[in-house]
């Protein structure tokens, strides 16, 4: 029996019995298998919703990928005609402070927030975001039998791994099939949560190991992010959504690579293209408690631009970021100075 046939048999049996929320299929090769091939032996698919995702190597994976995209897909297919997105989120029991940003994320893939969150609130807000995701999936599972297939899960971001730890504890009509290559080296920033997830799956007897039947093994490789200048708008959107959904570990990892390329002048981004990345990098730093590094980023912003003086929005964001970082460092006089500069810009723009 080859790998594809093995997976087909395992998936067919799992879908029929559905006696566990999550199963892991561990292998040691890079054999590709499509969604159609995975589901080839599955019978009676009409009463089930199959959601499939194949992680792409060297890509920037979005916050909790692919779960927000799956939720967006299901909302537009099954709920949009019945209720507006904010009503849907309320029905799912989403934390009220998160309804506005998540409505934008589900409606048009853009997460925005009127009120910012401070660094000392992050741990609580991040835990509530995980609860939001679990609550939405639980709500949808009352009406749809959700079968989720994650291929090449060894490339999944930190935020998704954290979410899976929670899903393993739930009892709902959501069933996740995870396939991963154990030969891959997991990126350092997510290694601990990955090891915890795998240990937990072994303790709960959720692991199926293909290795005993397979002699074809890959070399020891790691999924590193490869920056592509042509995707800069996509990256900025994904990083912004990570920031607003508190997938900060992922945002910090990807932004670190982009910042390094800016410093080494290998990003090929113009000065104007760098500014939104730097503004976001400073905010990510602050929400992770790295106020001193946020100020270093602010200095880079200041050195970039005479243009800052001509763009009121950039000026406001720059002063606001400086004020936030100084506040974390308890530098009250500097905070007052930058707050006043924010007020001056707001008045000049007739925002107040």
Residue-wise pLDDT for 81-139, tens only, equals 999 999 999 999 999 999 999 999 999 999 988 888 888 999 999 999 999 999 999 99
Would you say residue 213 has pLDDT above 80? Answer: no
Q: CA-CA distance, 236 to 216, in Å (whole number)?
A: 39
Q: For the chain, what percent of residues have pLDDT higher than 90?
A: 65
Q: Is the peptide bond before 104 cis (omega within 30 degrees of 0)?
A: no
Q: What is the pTM of this model?
A: 0.91
User: Two tokens at 110?
Assistant: 């853009």
Would you say residue 31 has pLDDT above 70? Answer: no
The confidence score (pLDDT) of residue 180 equals: 93
| Average pLDDT in the chain | 90
Q: What is the mean pLDDT of residues 55-76?
A: 96
The confidence score (pLDDT) of residue 303 equals: 76
Q: Work out the pLDDT band at 7, boundaries 50, 70, 90.
A: confident
Distances (CA, A) of 14 to 17, 41, 91: 5, 11, 30
Would you say residue 30 has pLDDT above 80? Answer: no
User: Two tokens at 10?
Assistant: 């395992």
Domain boundaries, the chain: 3-213, 229-348
Q: Select from 301, 256, 271, 320 the least CA-distant residue to 118.
A: 320
The confidence score (pLDDT) of residue 216 equals: 55
* Contacts with 202 (C-beta within 8 Å, 6 or more apart), sequence order: none
Q: Are 222 and 187 in contact (CB under 8 A)?
A: yes
The confidence score (pLDDT) of residue 69 equals: 96
Q: What would the pLDDT profile of 296-334 be if each residue is shown by its tens digit?
A: 998 888 877 545 456 788 888 889 999 999 999 999 999
| Highest CATH level, class, for 229-348 | mainly alpha
Q: Which residue has the tokens 């506005």?
A: 100
Would you say residue 236 has pLDDT above 50? Answer: yes
* Contacts with 209 (C-beta within 8 Å, 6 or more apart), sequence order: 26
Q: What is the mean pLDDT of residues 160-166?
A: 96
Question: Is 48 buried (19+), middle (13-18) or exposed (0-12) by CB count in 10 A?
Answer: middle
Whether 3-213 shares its CATH topology with 229-348 is answered: no
The confidence score (pLDDT) of residue 313 equals: 84
Which stretch of 72-76, 137-141, 142-146, 231-235 has the lowest confidence by average pLDDT? 142-146
Q: Which carries the bigger pLDDT value, residue 33 or residue 273?
A: 273
Q: What would the pLDDT profile of 175-208 be if each residue is shown by its tens digit?
A: 999 999 988 889 999 999 999 999 999 999 999 8
The confidence score (pLDDT) of residue 45 equals: 79
* Contacts with 130 (C-beta within 8 Å, 6 or more apart), sequence order: 162, 163, 166
Q: Work out the pLDDT band at 219, boundaries 50, 70, 90.
A: low
Q: What is the mean pLDDT of residues 267-274?
A: 88
* Contacts with 258 (C-beta within 8 Å, 6 or more apart), sequence order: 227, 235, 267, 277, 281
Q: Classify domain 3-213 at the CATH topology level.
A: Rossmann fold (3.40.50)
Q: Select from 232, 174, 177, 240 the least CA-distant residue to 206.
A: 177
Q: How far apart are the first and last CA of the chain?
A: 70
């Amino acid at each position: 029996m080859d790998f594809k046939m093995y997976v087909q048999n395992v998936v067919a049996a799992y879908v029929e019995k559905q006696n566990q929320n999550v199963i892991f299929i561990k292998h040691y090769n890079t054999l590709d298998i499509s969604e159609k091939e995975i589901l080839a032996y599955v019978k009676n698919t009409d009463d089930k919703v199959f959601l499939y995702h194949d992680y792409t190597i060297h890509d920037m994976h979005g916050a909790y990928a692919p779960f927000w995209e799956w939720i967006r897909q299901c909302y537009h297919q099954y709920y949009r005609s019945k209720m507006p997105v904010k009503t849907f989120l309320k029905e799912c029991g989403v934390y009220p402070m998160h309804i506005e940003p998540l409505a934008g994320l589900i409606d048009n893939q853009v997460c925005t927030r009127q009120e910012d969150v401070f660094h000392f609130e992050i741990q609580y807000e991040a835990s509530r975001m995980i609860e939001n995701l679990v609550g939405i999936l639980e709500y949808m599972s009352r009406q749809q039998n959700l079968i989720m297939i994650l291929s090449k899960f060894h490339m999944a971001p930190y935020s998704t791994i954290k979410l899976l730890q929670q899903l393993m504890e739930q009892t709902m009509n959501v069933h996740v099939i995870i396939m991963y290559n154990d030969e891959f080296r997991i990126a350092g920033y997510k290694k601990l949560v990955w090891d915890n997830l795998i240990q937990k799956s072994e303790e709960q007897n959720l692991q199926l190991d293909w290795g005993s039947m397979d002699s074809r093994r890959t070399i020891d490789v790691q999924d590193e992010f490869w920056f592509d200048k042509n995707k800069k708008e996509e990256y900025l959107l994904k990083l912004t959504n990570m920031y607003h959904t508190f997938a900060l570990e992922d945002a910090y990892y990807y932004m670190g690579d982009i910042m390094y390329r800016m410093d080494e002048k290998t990003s090929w981004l113009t000065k104007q293209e760098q500014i939104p990345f730097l503004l976001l990098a400073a905010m990510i730093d602050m929400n992770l408690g790295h106020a001193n590094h946020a100020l270093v980023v602010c200095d880079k912003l200041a050195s970039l631009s005479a243009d800052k003086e001509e763009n009121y929005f950039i000026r406001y964001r720059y002063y606001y970021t400086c004020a936030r970082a100084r506040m974390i460092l308890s530098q009250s006089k500097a905070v007052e100075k930058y707050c006043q500069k924010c007020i001056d810009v707001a008045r000049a723009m007739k925002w107040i």
